[in-house]
Structure 1
Amino acid sequence: MTVYMMQQIHANAWDKRREQFILKEVCRGRRALQILAAEHRTAHVAETQFTDTTDALLHNEDILFSQTSWDGQSSIRHSRLPDSVDVLPQTQVSSAFAELLQTLTEPLSHLPQDNPVAVLLESSSSLPDAQVRDLWQQAWLESDLTPPMAFIPGHGLMAVDHWLDYRIQDKSVLLVIALQIAPRQPDNTAEVVTGLLLGNRLTQKTLPPIALLHRPELSRPDPVALQEKVEQAIDWVPLRTTALQHLWLAGISGTSEGYQCAIVAQGNPPLASVDPAIGIHNINEFLGNPGRAAPWLAIAAAAQAISRTPAPHMIISGEQDSESVWITVVSPLASHKENTA
């Protein structure tokens, strides 16, 4: 009896430790970032200023047609920003940064002057990355914004996943700047500029969020694997399997394995609840491939749509130089509080 009781105590202690570990990992997985501001500019606008093009994106307004590219090639099927004709790429990038900072000055100005701003800069351009970074720093200095700014390493939604793991209690806000201007191979591409201001729910109490960006999941191009990741992505929110109303496909070639897997997933819950007539938005089809800006454009559009009509959106986006895809959810503000795990 004594031996049995000792074994039982040991087993109970192991079960309790395992339960605590699972709970901690679930809470860690369900971390999310506040979306404090979301701006985007595409060829849907006729003027140079940042204006709300969310309706055009939600209605899949097709502006992908053959035209002369930035480097003078004729009959290239792509979409161009309205002020890109006869403008040098470096001038266009500088103007885009200046205009984007004008729209972001208002939320950034409400932050404490010593509140750090971490910048993730993503660029698909014929300009070298170092030159694009220099142009951003120049625009930041000319904007007279006072918060200290520093670049962070990484790219795409991997940077969000890393931030949720290691910087969830950081006082810094995360500013994502993504653009594709004058791409090296313009065929079937889209010129876009996107800005997202993200904050930690544990530390950011100054600005009111408009939506939440949840933990992304990376899937290999396999139907079973992608279905599992889609289900995991909605579980991180968490959502009912019938809750999704919009699906964004961004930066995924129609001939890729990842795209075929995404099509298969649309026939299964939770994506089966999305109305294909009005709820599916394949950015590559009506705008062109936004390159590295693809996931950020979809997230910004989803956040702006949620600010009008609260409903969860899922984004499936391509991974650069890979057949794999990322899956994430943008949701209206949740009632539950952030866990410190």
Structure 2
Amino acid sequence: MNSRFGAISTALAAAALFGATTPVAKALLGAMPPFMVAGLFYLGSGIGLGAALVIRRLRAPSGASGQHRISRAEWPWLIGAIVAGGVGGPALLMLGLSSTPAATTSLLLNLEGVLTAVIAWIAFRENVDVQLFLGMVAIVAAGVVLSWHPGDADLPLGALLIVGACACWAIDNNLTRKVATNDAMVIACLKGLCAGPVNLAIAFASGASWPAVGTLGAAMLTGLAGYGVSLVLFVVALRHLGTARTGAYFSAAPLFGVVLAFLLWPEWPTVAFWVAAVLMTIGIVLHIRERHEHEHMHEWIEHTHRHVHDEHHQHEHDFPYSGDQPHTHAHVHPPITHSHAHFPDVHHRHRH
């Protein structure tokens, strides 16, 4: 990633694709049971990304090594992320939806970004300062303003299930952080191929049946964009921004969803929309203006990921090297102590 703005743009693009899924689903898939919708979304994501991986492999130059395989030590993190985010989260959400008003559900879903940041700050010790915290508050407040409907403030039992779903996705985001140096497309593909069949099995066990071919195709294409490509971009952003910051930008998803809804069903935006837009802008600006710089030490580490020969990647190659950058191979980072502005990316996950 060439700049911090490139990483931020990637996170916002992930949020835009995910946020657009809601109004598109409303337009195309209103007649299907919730578990069927979730299953087709995930399955479309897994199959679509799987096809893209096959095409990429076929088009790769002869002898190219491509992306590395996920290591044995990383599989528990990835499996945990799939179980929490691809199975637990959707299941709890669908159960909660059955007894919780839609407005309350939308309001509660904003907890995902908050819980993601809290876990990242407490469990993984990502740095946070006042400016970053206020930016997070502004972004979450924007989501609350978009979702809040006076009169729908009751929190039934189903609300606890929705909070549980947010917790599952927050855990998913933080566990995915541990494998973010791997091929983002492979990670997203595996999540889709695992979560899709599980949700479809629940749907069929509840008496659902396959929808019409056109609806099925629309659902899977929507899932490919909103759950597949979006997740690929999210994982890439995780590498460069860390979990809390990526989660904060991803919390902008409701705003993109509302904008698309206005385009699909034209009407003059409400006051709440403009208030949310201002709050969202304030939050993003506060995050963009963040500058975190101090002397820090990099411990010895060996890993594999796509990189260029920047100040953190000054190494020799034990294979014929053509000079192409960026490239992917196993490499070692020797211990180094220096000072520069940085995010809690894959090379700066140190304590403060």
Q: Which interval holds the TM-score relative to the shorter structure?
A: under 0.3
* TM-score, length of structure 1 as denominator length: 0.27
Larger proportion of helix: 2
* TM-score, length of structure 2 as denominator length: 0.27
